[in-house]
Structure 1
Amino acid sequence: MKVVITDDEIQIRKGLKMKVDWEEEGFQIVGEASNGKETLDLLNSIDVDIVITDVRMPIMDGIEFAKQANRKFPNVKVVVLSGYSDFEYVRSSLVEGVKDYLLKPVAPDELIHALYRIRSELEEEKRKKLETEKMNKLVHNQLEEMKQQYLLHLAKEELSELKGTLERLQQLQLNEFTSKDVNVQFFTIEMRTKDPQLLKELWLPFMMLCKEIAREYHNTYCFYDANYTNMLHFIHRLDCDKGQQTTFIVDRVQKHVKNYLKIETVVGIGKIVTGLKEFKSGYISALLSWSQSKLGTHSQVIDGTINQELYEFSPDVEKRLVNSIENISIHDFKHNMKGILGETNNQSMMSFSFAASRVLFLLSSLATKYNLDTNERHQLIWNCQQSIWQLNTQHTVIDQLSKLAELVIKKIQDARCSSNGSEIVENVREYLNKHYASEISLTSLSEQFHINNAYLSELFKQHVGQNFSDYLIQVRMEKAKEFLLDRQLKIIDVAYLVGFSNSGYFSTVFKKHIGKTPAEFRKEITK
């Protein structure tokens, strides 16, 4: 603990220094001053924990110093010394920032006890501050993780009703992507080395470095897709320079990874796309660019903006594919897929690979929706990706996509035909846990999972012990409690993040379930 002694009499200062074995007791005298103004100047230049000051001094007395120090340096604790005639007056003045009042001449044990009390208080304050900072960091990281997951969702999953998607982007503070004319570009970066163990060791530093660089550029985000090992993906909103900045960011990432991590990288740059509905096209084009890289561990950049010929994958085509799977018809799926990937389409190999990737994303999304998390599923997805990237194995790709579709259909069939409905309820729970901030009704859920809404309601209550709306509110309240730990988020921000468009209604629901208003809860946990 660093201490400054302030008194206009040099002999008093010397006496105080001799009363305590400062270093032995864990304190260090880092400065002396003859009045309050000199002490304030010292506080501007060095870190100080405690100031021991006399009351009566020229230029600026101890009381005025304590007032100004409390305003400018609230973390500094002040101990005031006064003579007998001033003691009661000084002690009753209740100056903020003064932690103790001692009567002169000060007994050594009295001074030591005062210092101990202040040290304990400072240590407790620092502990609470560290805990708060840790909590804020965890909540901030959680918010960043939610942003990344939602960007991945937009790049790979079914695009939900547009209004709800735009609202969710605003809730996650991703407003830059809400414009229908937004131009974005995806690019994919892979670490490469001959040593697999080194890839594992460098994954976390690589991810942290990429995210740090992304934060330095306006409207640029970095996210991870578990289906692609040793790779990170960027989405960048283009400014008026029409993408020149994208290549600048790519160059910077490659140089930093090579300089700091001593490893090579391969980058695939996707085509420029416009609007949310084209995010999938942009993401896949970045992956396809990357797939054209040469084997080996030397750094490469493959710019896919040169090749603009890609299959037009309309929402109607996607809907037909989804319906064929959820209606448990592999025949309809193969028929629809043949219309997209069949040889009669007269499409290029690149266009075929793009369309096949879109089908693979769709099947992966459905597999996730129905909790199909098996080794067979992951192996099929990986094999299919490899076949697509080879650009010359059309029949193999179609065969592997069909096998994956059959696997998903069987999972859906098993869930719907389970004797007690437990699997379908678990699928619905997982959906609610993931999409709790969206506008969800029993009707929309029943449509999502192709099941009668009355039957779904009965099943959910039977297996979970509460109806779906109560369960959804419970999930939202638990998430709200986590977000309220971050004081940088306003109450209305928390309300939006957990699916409430009105902060007043959010506060009412929160108090009903938690017993306190959001403001009261935050004050209690962060004080």
Structure 2
Amino acid sequence: MKVLIADDEIQIRKGLRLKVDWDKEGFEIVEEASNGKEALEKIKNKDIDLVITDMRMPIMDGVELARRCHIEFPHVKIIVLSGYSDFDYVRNSLKQGVRDYLLKPVAPDELEEAIRKIRDEIKDEMAKKAELVRMNQLANLHLQEMQEQYILYLVKEERLQPNIVKERLQQLQLEELLNENAKVQFITVEIREAADPIKLEELMLPFQMVCREIVQEQKGTYLFKDPSYTKMIQFLQIIESDRQTSTRTSQLVKRIQHTINKYLKLDTVIGIGNVVNGLMEYRSGYISSLLAWSHSLLGAKSQVIDQIIPREEVFNFSPDIEKRLTNAIEHADLLVFKENVHSILGGVENQSVLSFSFSANHVLFLLGSLAKKYGIETSNIQNAIWNCQQNIWKLNSQYEVKENLILLAELIIERVRQTRFSNKAIIESVRSYVDLHYASEISLTTLSKLFHINSAHLSETFKHHVGKNFSDYLVHLRMEKATELLKDHQLKIIDIANLVGFSSSGYFSTVFKKHYGQTPVEFRNSMTGNG
């Protein structure tokens, strides 16, 4: 800790140096000054922690120095030295930020006691500051993780509910994604290493950290990780104008490849997706970036694939087609599914490879979403999804791609049939869905429609298998999540209420107190011993 001594008498300054073993007490005298003005100039140029100043000095006295320090350098601690006749004046100076005052002549033990008190105060402040920084970092990391998870949800979910999405984006501080006129582009980044595949596993965390640092420097750019693609990071960037699209994308891609090669010595394969408008087109934009990446050559060689797919081909996979395919799976009708797949992926004259790839990937995404919805992501189904994706990437045979998709659908239909006729299985699927979407508006009615089951039967079956009715289960789940979030003191009660599915902090507090016998504030205080 750095010390400045201010006194117009050089002998007194020398005497103060000799009265205490400064090094032993954790201090270092780095500056001296003969008046307050000189001291103030030196404080501006040096990171001073403690100033010991005489009361009476020419040009600027000790109290004025303390007052100026209190305004300009509030972290600096001040000890004033004074004669007995100045006692009342110095005591009033405590209001100006003076931490202590000592009567002249200063006794060594008094000076030691004073600086030790200052030392402990500085250490305590430093510890609190470090803890605040740590808590802010944890809060930012938690927010960042939730943002990434929700962006992944936006690009993977079959149908988005605008009101819920809007509210959630506001909660997660992603308001700039709400602009329906905002143009967005997805960029897929994969790392490759030819000689040592294990090296990739070891470098995945550094890869993610490097990508996050790049995103922090790029305004309007976000990233997320799709568990389906283990060696990739996905970037989302907002495009402000058509003229800047090419330039901004090119700069970002060059920065990614240069940084990863410089620090990780890895090759990168980058797929650049189409520019899309609004949240409802995120899924198509994301798929287009994966399609671009899928055209890369095998092997460890840095590549950039900028794939421009005509708009009329990208968006010919209508909601009606999705609905027909979904109904075929959920009603266990493989024949109808086959007919629709052949209609989409075959029999169309002059169908481009790009159009075929997009449609096949869209069917695959739909099947994967249904498998996740029903909680039937078995190893067989996961392997079938991977085989489908491999065949779509290779595009050696359109027939093989269609047959693989039909085989996958057959596996999913069989599992859906078992689930639909097994109360235990359907309840586990419902429970898994609720555990994932507890913060959204969920009711038995919406669940019964989603899983094609009578709401009264669902209510009775849920209570039988889970041991409590649906509403009690949902409240209990939300309360458990709330207790976890209450550990983060950076989150306000209204934030926590929103994050666990309550629009009103008052109602949240009422439910919480009924559940735990304490308000959220009382519960938080009891965890820190402040209650």
TM-score of the alignment, normalized to the shorter chain, above 0.5: yes
Query: Is the aligned partner of 1:319 residue 2:342?
Result: no
Selected match of 2:479 from 474, 477, 494: 474
CA positional deviation for 1:413: 4.8
Q: CA offsets per residue over residues 454-513 of structure 1, 9 Å max, x none?
A: 444455556265714423541563465256525xxx766665555454566566666776
Look up the match of 1:164: 164
Check 1:139–1:289 CA distance in 2 against 1; reply closer, same or farther (3 A cut).
Answer: same
CA positional deviation for 1:526: 13
Query: Is the aligned partner of 1:435 residue 2:440?
Result: no
Q: Which whole-Å CA distance do the structure 1 matches of 2:219 and 2:426 have between them? A: 42
CA positional deviation for 1:150: 1.6
The 8 Å contact of residues 309 and 354 in structure 2, kept in 1 or not, is answered as: no
Deviates more, 1:299-308 or 1:508-517: 508-517
Q: Which whole-Å CA distance do the structure 2 matches of 1:428 and 1:479 have between them? A: 23
Check 1:125–1:369 CA distance in 2 against 1; reply closer, same or farther (3 A cut).
Answer: farther
Aligned positions of 1:458-497 closer than 5 A: 458-460=460-462, 463=466, 465=468, 467-471=472-476, 473-475=478-480, 477-478=482-483, 480-481=485-486, 484-485=489-490, 496-497=498-499
Look up the match of 1:240: 241
Look up the match of 1:48: 48
CA positional deviation for 1:362: 1.8
Q: CA offsets per residue over residues 388-442 of structure 1, 9 Å max, x none?
A: 10112333333333343344445545555556x3x54554444344334323333
Structure 2 residue identity aligned to 1:102: L
Query: Is the aligned partner of 1:377 residue 2:378?
Result: no
CA positional deviation for 1:225: 1.0
Look up the match of 1:203: 204
CA positional deviation for 1:149: 1.6
Q: Which whole-Å CA distance do the structure 2 matches of 1:526 and 1:347 have between them? A: 68
Aligned positions of 1:38-187 closer than 5 A: 38-87=38-87, 90-91=90-91, 94-95=94-95, 97-187=97-187
CA positional deviation for 1:260: 3.1
Q: Which whole-Å CA distance do the structure 2 matches of 1:440 and 1:377 have between them? A: 28
CA positional deviation for 1:15: 0.9
Determine helix, strand or coil for the equivalent of 1:270: strand
CA positional deviation for 1:307: 5.3
Deviates more, 1:278-287 or 1:441-450: 441-450
Aligned positions of 1:386-405 closer than 5 A: 386-405=390-409
Look up the match of 2:274: 271
CA positional deviation for 1:304: 0.8
The 8 Å contact of residues 52 and 81 in structure 1, kept in 2 or not, is answered as: yes
Q: Which whole-Å CA distance do the structure 2 matches of 1:105 and 1:339 have between them? A: 99
The 8 Å contact of residues 185 and 272 in structure 1, kept in 2 or not, is answered as: yes
Look up the match of 1:359: 363
CA positional deviation for 1:525: 6.6
Determine helix, strand or coil for the equivalent of 1:377: helix
Calculate the aligned-residue CA RMSD, in Å: 3.3
Deviates more, 1:476-485 or 1:226-235: 476-485
The 8 Å contact of residues 189 and 271 in structure 2, kept in 1 or not, is answered as: yes
Q: Which whole-Å CA distance do the structure 1 matches of 2:162 and 2:59 have between them? A: 68
Q: For structure 2, which runs of at least 5 residues remain unmatched after alignment? A: none
Look up the match of 1:452: 454
Check 1:50–1:149 CA distance in 2 against 1; reply closer, same or farther (3 A cut).
Answer: same
The 8 Å contact of residues 311 and 354 in structure 1, kept in 2 or not, is answered as: no
Q: Which whole-Å CA distance do the structure 1 matches of 2:510 and 2:80 have between them? A: 47
Look up the match of 2:261: 258
Deviates more, 1:30-39 or 1:386-395: 30-39
Check 1:479–1:192 CA distance in 2 against 1; reply closer, same or farther (3 A cut).
Answer: same
Look up the match of 1:12: 12
Q: Which whole-Å CA distance do the structure 2 matches of 1:461 and 1:122 have between them? A: 58
CA positional deviation for 1:234: 1.5
Deviates more, 1:453-462 or 1:291-300: 453-462
CA positional deviation for 1:365: 2.1
Structure 1 residue identity aligned to 2:217: E
Q: Which whole-Å CA distance do the structure 2 matches of 1:177 and 1:526 have between them? A: 40
Query: Is the aligned partner of 1:288 residue 2:294?
Result: no
Q: Which whole-Å CA distance do the structure 2 matches of 1:101 and 1:219 have between them? A: 53
Query: Is the aligned partner of 1:304 residue 2:279?
Result: no
Q: Which whole-Å CA distance do the structure 2 matches of 1:98 and 1:413 have between them? A: 78
Deviates more, 1:280-289 or 1:259-268: 259-268
Q: Which whole-Å CA distance do the structure 1 matches of 2:361 and 2:397 have between them? A: 13
CA positional deviation for 1:29: 0.9
Structure 2 residue identity aligned to 1:112: E
Look up the match of 2:190: 190
The 8 Å contact of residues 479 and 498 in structure 1, kept in 2 or not, is answered as: no
Check 1:414–1:141 CA distance in 2 against 1; reply closer, same or farther (3 A cut).
Answer: farther
The 8 Å contact of residues 326 and 409 in structure 1, kept in 2 or not, is answered as: yes
Q: CA offsets per residue over residues 122-152 of structure 1, 9 Å max, x none?
A: 2222222222211211221121122222222
User: TM-score, with normalisation over the residues of structure 1?
Assistant: 0.87
Determine helix, strand or coil for the equivalent of 1:226: coil
Look up the match of 2:224: 223
Check 1:298–1:469 CA distance in 2 against 1; reply closer, same or farther (3 A cut).
Answer: closer
Q: Share of identical aligned residues, percent?
A: 52
Q: Which whole-Å CA distance do the structure 1 matches of 2:443 and 2:104 have between them? A: 73
Deviates more, 1:196-205 or 1:475-484: 475-484
Q: Which whole-Å CA distance do the structure 2 matches of 1:89 and 1:520 have between them? A: 47
CA positional deviation for 1:56: 2.7
Aligned length: 522
The 8 Å contact of residues 484 and 494 in structure 1, kept in 2 or not, is answered as: no
CA positional deviation for 1:360: 1.6
Q: Which whole-Å CA distance do the structure 1 matches of 2:309 and 2:57 have between them? A: 77
The 8 Å contact of residues 484 and 518 in structure 1, kept in 2 or not, is answered as: no
Q: Which whole-Å CA distance do the structure 1 matches of 2:339 and 2:527 have between them? A: 60
